[in-house]
Amino acid sequence: MSNRLGSQTLSFSQGPRLLSSYTIVGPMEGKGPHALDFDEILPDDVLHQKTPEKTERVMLEMAIEKTLQRNDTKIEDIHFLIAGDLLNQITSSAFAASTYTAPFLGIYGACSTFAQAIGLAAILLQGDFAGNVLIGTASHYQTAERQFRYPIELNVQHIGTNHHTVTGAGVALLGFADQGPKVTYATFGKVVDMGLKDAQDMGSAMAPAAFSTIKQHLKDTGRGLEDYDMVLTGDLGKQGRKMLRLLFSKEGFSGLERLQDGGSQIYGDGQKTGAGGSGAACIAVMGLGYGLNMLKSGKAQRILIVATGALLSALTVLQGESIPCVAHAVALEA
Amino acid sequence: MKPQEYQKLVQENSAPRPLLKNVLWAFFVGGLICTIGQVVLNIATKTENTKAEASAVTLAVMILIGTILTAFGVYDELAEKGGAGAAVPITGFANTMTSAAMEFRREGILLGMGAKMFVIAGPVIVFGILSGFIVTLIKVLILKLL
């Protein structure tokens, strides 16, 4: 097991790389401070589709096609398509995959799906089981609202810790070539449940999972937060980001200024989105948009992407269960 | 860190809800809706023959207003500010029905819209009738005992 490092981290000596990627976001995300980091901003969140579920699927398909085009790769050359979303039975991903001939691995990790997919793709590449792997996630505000919350037009008053699901899709092609950032490590997280039950504050619930994974990653690799130019968590939101910083400072970690959070940063202050963005697409578009741009422009040499997922369902919330959470980390180096 | 310790840490570091602001907004939004209702009732009292007919007309008009505002995507914005002030009046009840009907329309008229229309309004009706029954029971018992 020479590819293992410490107790949870995998190291990829073969140097699988992110060859190309594509990010699509809805109009609201396009008005946020990271608008320039995304490849495409949709004029509306409908795309001439009859249902938002179809729109979500179409966004994923659009991102898949653009990612392939960018690297001049045919879908026939893709050995695996790994994708996931937030809907029951991950239908958006499965339905999108039905358009293509590539073998499909559907995964669910809620909003942690993105890093889980990159980690799994790197394993397949490192193990010589594949030469080209396509990964992708998508989410849509309206499909997530109905899946986990209420009808869109219902008289609900949102509170400061509520998240706004990101409408968008992010897709990346992983393989071996002399371009794009290397995936050097992946640390798959353990499920952490601190007994929090408030589904209106998922940031606080997810922060300990992010802390557990990052801490383990640093221990396994012998690195500190300072060794990364940026540690980008997925969608902790403003409340979760605060809790994560508290957890780190309580244990005496330094380099807290390296911590950034996709969910907290994707929307502007005036956009009335509570704690910030969430959803399977949040870290996908922020990681592949903002994160990769930092590497490309040379502003960062090494980043850690930590996708965080709250593994609850509408059913478990009604049944009064607490919220188990997970976080997966992947290290990208220019 | 133990779960209990962390839960305490979250509690200590959660911002309290802006109670006073919410209460004031609820008061004004709820008050505005009720004032409109009163205006409608005053007009209906002149056009209708009995008080009961006038209040029936008023309810119908308020439900219509709630439904139209929901359809145009205004009512949820109103509730975002007004909270219970928008949810409690009958326009809020119309909103729960209409928003669910709109949301589930894409699963078909019968099994989508028809079946799911009462998803949020259902409990209100059930427990409204139940509490009405209990209150009546108490009233009757007290009157008999006295």
Torsion of CA A309, A313, A317, A323, to 10 degrees: -30
CA distance A113 to chain B (A): 25
Residue B113 lies in a domain: yes
B-facing residues of A in 156-185 (CB < 8 A) are 156-161
CA distance A157 to chain B (A): 4
Q: Do domains A4-175 and A182-333 have the same CATH topology?
A: yes
Residue B144 lies in a domain: no
Q: How many domains are contained in chain B?
A: 1
3-state secondary structure chain A: CCCEECCCEEECCCCCEEEEEEEEECCCHHHCCCHHHCCEECCCCCCCCCCHHHHHHHHHHHHHHHHHHHCCCCHHHCCEEEEECCCHHHHHHHHHHCCCCCCEEECCECECHHHHHHHHHHHHHHCCCCCEEEEEEEECHHHHHHHHCCCCCCCCCCCCCCEEECCEEEEEEEECCCCCCEEEEEECCCCECCCCCCCCCHHHHHHHHHHHHHHHHHHHHCCCHHHCCEEEECCCHHHHHHHHHHHHHHCCCCCHHHEEEHHHHHCCHHHCCCCEEECHHHHHHHHHHHHHHHHHCCCCCEEEEEEEEECCCHHHHHCCCCCCEEEEEEEEEC
Residue B108: strand, helix, or coil: coil
Place of tokens 């309004």: B121
Residue B139 lies in a domain: no
Torsion of CA A133, A174, A283, A2, to 10 degrees: 90
Question: Complex ipTM, two decimals?
Answer: 0.90
CATH code of the region A182-333: 3.40.47.40
Q: What is the pLDDT along chain A (334 residues), one digit of tens a residue?
A: 789 999 999 999 999 999 999 999 999 999 999 999 999 999 999 999 999 999 999 999 999 999 999 999 999 999 999 999 999 999 999 999 999 999 999 999 999 999 999 999 999 999 999 999 999 999 999 999 999 999 999 998 999 999 999 999 999 999 999 999 999 999 999 999 999 999 999 999 999 999 999 999 999 999 999 999 999 999 999 999 999 999 999 999 999 999 999 999 999 988 989 999 999 999 999 999 999 999 999 999 999 999 999 999 999 999 999 999 999 999 999 9
CB A186 within 8 A of CB A328: yes
Domain of residue B95 covers 17-121
- A321 shares contact with chain B (CB less than 8 Å): no
Residue B59 lies in a domain: yes
Q: For chain B, what is the mean pLDDT?
A: 95
Task: List pLDDT tens digits, range B11-29.
Answer: 999 988 899 999 999 999 9
- A208 shares contact with chain B (CB less than 8 Å): yes
Q: Which two tokens stand for residue A276?
A: 């910030």
Facing B7 at nearest CB: one of A50, A157, A194: A194
> Testing the interface with A: which of B10, B23, B90 to mutate, by most A Cβ within 10 A?
B10
CB A164 within 8 A of CB A152: no
Mark yes or no for CB contact A152/B99 under 8 Å: yes
Place of tokens 């353990």: A190
CATH code of the region A4-175: 3.40.47.40
Residue B128 lies in a domain: no
Mark yes or no for CB contact B102/A196 under 8 Å: no
> Would you list which residues of chain B are within 8 Å, Cβ to Cβ, of chain A?
1, 3-4, 6-7, 9-10, 13-15, 17, 22, 70-71, 73, 75-76, 78-83, 86-87, 92, 95-96, 98-100, 102-104, 106, 119-120
CA distance B72 to chain A (A): 9
Quick one: closest CA in B to A54, which residue?
A: B106
Predicted confidence at residue A119, as pLDDT, reads 98
Chain B residue numbers with beta carbons less than 8 Å from the beta carbon of A159 are 17
Predicted confidence at residue A144, as pLDDT, reads 96
Mark yes or no for CB contact A155/B73 under 8 Å: no
Task: List pLDDT tens digits, range B54-111.
Answer: 999 999 999 999 999 999 999 999 999 999 999 999 999 999 999 999 999 999 999 9
Facing B83 at nearest CB: one of A146, A157, A193: A157
Mark yes or no for CB contact B75/A153 under 8 Å: yes
Mark yes or no for CB contact A194/B3 under 8 Å: yes
Residue B93 lies in a domain: yes
Quick one: closest CA in A to B73, which residue?
A: A153
Predicted confidence at residue B1, as pLDDT, reads 86
Domain boundaries, chain A: 4-175, 182-333
Mark yes or no for CB contact A154/B92 under 8 Å: no
Q: How many CB pairs under 8 A join A and B?
A: 84
Mark yes or no for CB contact A156/B120 under 8 Å: no
Facing A155 at nearest CB: one of B7, B76, B119: B76
Residue B3 lies in a domain: no
Predicted confidence at residue A147, as pLDDT, reads 92
